[in-house]
């Protein structure tokens, strides 16, 4: 990494000199002159940042590694003398060592001309991305001459931190040496080794190459984004800008960027829609990082309800007949067959499968006297933000569709247990199959942004859902329409309208004809290969697998009516993000 970064920096510096038709030697060796003439004569600053860590001692070690790299191709005698240097930030790099390395590794240095040109070509497809200046292999002899005569001899290495051994802050302006007399700036070609002082407040003019090795035990996106010194307006040399970092840090910065883009888009949308009202956007974090370390105990709210969400809220009074009617209508309007496993009747399965939106409509048809969440509530307002960010209009929007009979009423279960939240998620999944959404990741690949996935592949693998009814041992249902179909209800404990236990028969049996468990009920219907179980982990189905909606009819207690609810099994491949909410919100 260090070698590639240094070669990239040196070659890009020579290319910029070649294109500017200016001389670093002339700027360095010229006598004092007026400020205007010094500026006209001097090349633009060309800098590199090596950010190894927050720890100050590592900065001097990193600088020593740069020096060692420049000395590696020296003869043994010279090398031994060089090794005797007691390192300080004033230690210079070995020009002779660089010359020897350039001759020995000609191909490794020359390849950067090709890489820069490939980037130039890629940028040409972006708005204002046509960089007219082109350098290719035919120019290598002149680039090589500039490396030898101009770049290597005049590149500085400096350490900037709070240690007394460190250097002064960067100086990119012509230096005044007398009355109206100036010399070239000190940091025209400089490699900076630094840490925290580069987080904010210091500008590195002409920053072209960055090595970022810093890590954190608990990364926070706002803090680490302040360290992204490589972003800015680079103009005609944008194609030569490079960042070198480890893969894990790259994925973190990619996630920060996606969240930041989603945030900006939401803020602009709210400002345009409601001028004069301060936006209240959704701030995102991730599985591996926090949104900020400045607010304690932030609450994380995932978008995806999980592998096997279960609707825990139940209705045994006013709307009980509505909910049993949901199941009754499905039974009366579709073809069903019994599911028998090992000579035991386990339930029924519907012949027709449902789409993501059809399952959402099914969930939204449930009604409750004690649960009707407010779309403007902290757990749900993000659905409108997602609509605005992704340009969703009717019939795709609204995503979140709670009933209007007591709109903004009580909310007695969390989003993964709420039919309207799960329904909103399924609607979003369907809508995003044709959109490059920002701030979203797919559940089967949590390091690739949704904006970079192959939408055709994800659309082709979107799940269809098997619909089943799980029988229990509590006899036939009280509802006459369900009883007429032979539906057997089950016993489940509840408290204040919320189920205490959800999925039953989670553990698979033994033998070829054993029951796989309720979450894999449909695999007894389509005979697919069940997903692998991992102890203590949810059963995630692979992307492209079918989904499952499994009805449960719960026997009423103390004269109350039977209740109908469902559990779902979701395959991987849906959208996800994690909202950061303030404590208590």
Sign of the four-CA dihedral 310, 313, 315, 318: negative
Give the β-pairing of 207-212 and 46-51: parallel
Cα dihedral 230/215/437/408 (nearest 10):
-130
Q: Which residues of 441-452 are buried (b: 16+ CB within 10 A; e: fewer)?
A: bbbbeebebbbe
CA 499/CA 131 separation, integer angstroms: 63
Torsion of CA 538, 543, 548, 549, to 10 degrees: 90
Can you give the pLDDT at residue 576?
Answer: 93
Say yes or no to pLDDT of 513 above 80.
no
CB contact set of 405 (below 8 Å; sequence gap of 6+) = 367, 372
Residue 76 has pLDDT above 70, yes or no: no
Burial class (CB in 10 A: 0-12, 13-18, 19+), 77: exposed
**Torsion, Cα of 96, 100, 103, 106 (10° steps):** -100
**DSSP assignments along 472-492, one per residue:** -SS-B-SSHHHHHTTPBPB--
- Per-residue pLDDT, 91: 53
pLDDT of res. 234: 73
Please say whether the beta carbons of 559 and 536 come within 8 A.
no
**pLDDT digits over 1-13, tens only?**
999 999 999 999 9
Higher pLDDT, 506 or 549: 549
* Extended beta strands in 441-584, E state: 441-442, 465-470, 494-495, 498-499, 547-554, 563-569, 575-576, 578-581
- 496: pLDDT strictly greater than 80: yes
Give me the sign of the Cα torsion angle 172, 173, 174, 176: negative
Output Rg (C-alpha) for the chain, integer angstroms: 32
Which pLDDT value is given to residue 376? 85
Residues 485-499: b if buried by 16+ CB within 10 A, e if exposed? bebbbbebebeebeb
User: Cα 290 from chain centroid?
Assistant: 12
pTM of the model: 0.78
pLDDT at 372 over 70: yes
CA–CA gap between residue 236 and residue 120 (Å, rounded): 10
Is residue 572's pLDDT more than 80?
A: yes
Residue 521 and residue 549: Cα distance in Å, rounded? 9
What tens digit of pLDDT does each residue of 197-222 get? 776 667 788 999 999 888 776 777 77
User: What mean pLDDT do residues 425-438 have?
Assistant: 96
Residues contacting residue 506 through CB under 8 Å, at least 6 positions apart: 517, 518, 519
How big is the CA angle at 77 (ends 71 and 82), to the nearest 5 degrees?
A: 40
Q: How confident is the model at residue 381 (pLDDT cuts 50, 70, 90)?
A: confident
Q: What residues does 354 pair with on adjacent strands?
A: 465
Q: Pick from 225, 235, 229, 223: which is nearest to 201 by CA?
A: 229
Q: What is the mean pLDDT of the chain?
A: 87
537/521: higher pLDDT: 521
Torsion angle defined by CA atoms of residues 295, 299, 302 and 303, in that order, rounded to the nearest 10 degrees? -80
Most confidently predicted of 278-287, 365-374, 419-428: 419-428
């Amino acid at each position: 990494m260090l070698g590639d970064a240094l070669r990239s920096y040196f070659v890009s510096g020579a290319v910029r000199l070649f294109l500017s038709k200016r001389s670093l030697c002339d700027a360095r060796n010229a006598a004092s002159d007026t400020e205007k003439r010094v500026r006209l004569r001097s090349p633009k600053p060309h800098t590199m940042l090596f950010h190894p860590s927050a720890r100050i001692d590592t900065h001097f070690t990193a600088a020593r590694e740069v020096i060692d790299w420049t000395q590696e191709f020296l003869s043994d005698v010279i090398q031994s003398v060089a090794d005797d240097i007691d390192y300080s930030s004033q230690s210079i790099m070995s020009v002779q060592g660089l010359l020897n390395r350039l001759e020995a590794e000609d191909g490794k240095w020359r390849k950067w001309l090709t890489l820069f040109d490939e980037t130039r070509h890629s940028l040409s497809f972006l708005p204002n991305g046509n960089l007219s200046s082109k350098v290719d292999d035919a120019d290598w002899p002149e680039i090589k001459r500039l490396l030898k005569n101009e770049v290597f001899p005049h590149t500085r290495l400096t350490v900037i931190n709070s240690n007394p051994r460190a250097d002064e802050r960067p100086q990119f302006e012509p230096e005044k040496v007398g009355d109206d007399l100036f010399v070239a700036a000190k940091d025209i070609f400089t490699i900076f080794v630094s840490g925290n002082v580069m987080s904010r407040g210091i500008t590195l003019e002409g920053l072209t190459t960055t090595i970022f090795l810093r890590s954190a035990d608990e990364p926070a996106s706002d803090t680490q984004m302040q360290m992204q010194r490589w972003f800015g307006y680079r103009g005609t040399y944008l194609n030569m800008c490079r960042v070198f970092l480890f893969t894990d840090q790259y994925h973190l910065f990619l996630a920060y960027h996606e969240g930041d883009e989603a945030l900006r888009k939401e803020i602009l949308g709210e400002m345009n829609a409601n001028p004069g009202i301060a936006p209240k956007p959704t701030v995102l974090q991730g599985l591996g990082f926090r949104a900020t370390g400045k607010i304690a105990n932030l609450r994380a709210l995932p978008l995806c309800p999980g592998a096997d969400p279960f609707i825990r809220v139940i209705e045994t009074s006013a709307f009980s007949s509505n909910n049993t009617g949901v199941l009754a209508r499905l039974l009366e309007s579709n073809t069903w067959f019994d599911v028998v496993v090992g000579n035991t009747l386990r339930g029924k399965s519907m012949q027709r499968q449902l789409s993501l939106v059809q399952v959402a409509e099914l969930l939204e048809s449930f009604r409750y006297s004690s649960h009707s969440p407010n779309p403007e509530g902290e757990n749900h307002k993000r659905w409108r933000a997602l609509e605005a960010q992704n340009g969703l209009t009717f019939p795709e929007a609204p995503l979140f569709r709670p009933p209007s009979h007591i709109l903004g009423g009580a909310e007695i279960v969390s989003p993964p247990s709420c039919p309207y939240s799960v329904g909103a998620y399924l609607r979003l999944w369907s809508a995003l199959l044709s959109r490059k959404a920002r701030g979203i990741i797919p559940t089967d690949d949590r390091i690739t942004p949704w904006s970079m996935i192959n939408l055709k592949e994800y659309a082709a693998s979107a799940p269809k859902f098997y619909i089943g009814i799980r029988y229990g041992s509590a006899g036939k249902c009280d509802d006459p329409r369900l009883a007429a179909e032979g539906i057997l209800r089950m016993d489940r404990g509840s408290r204040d309208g919320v189920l205490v236990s959800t999925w039953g028969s989670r553990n698979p049996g033994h033998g070829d004809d054993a029951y796989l468990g309720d979450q894999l009920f449909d695999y007894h219907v389509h005979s697919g290969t069940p997903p692998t179980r991992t102890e203590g982990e949810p059963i995630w189905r692979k992307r492209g697998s079918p989904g499952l909606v499994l009805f449960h009819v719960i026997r009423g207690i103390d004269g109350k009516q039977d209740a109908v609810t469902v559990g779902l099994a979701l395959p991987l491949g849906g959208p996800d993000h994690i909202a950061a909410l303030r404590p208590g919100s």
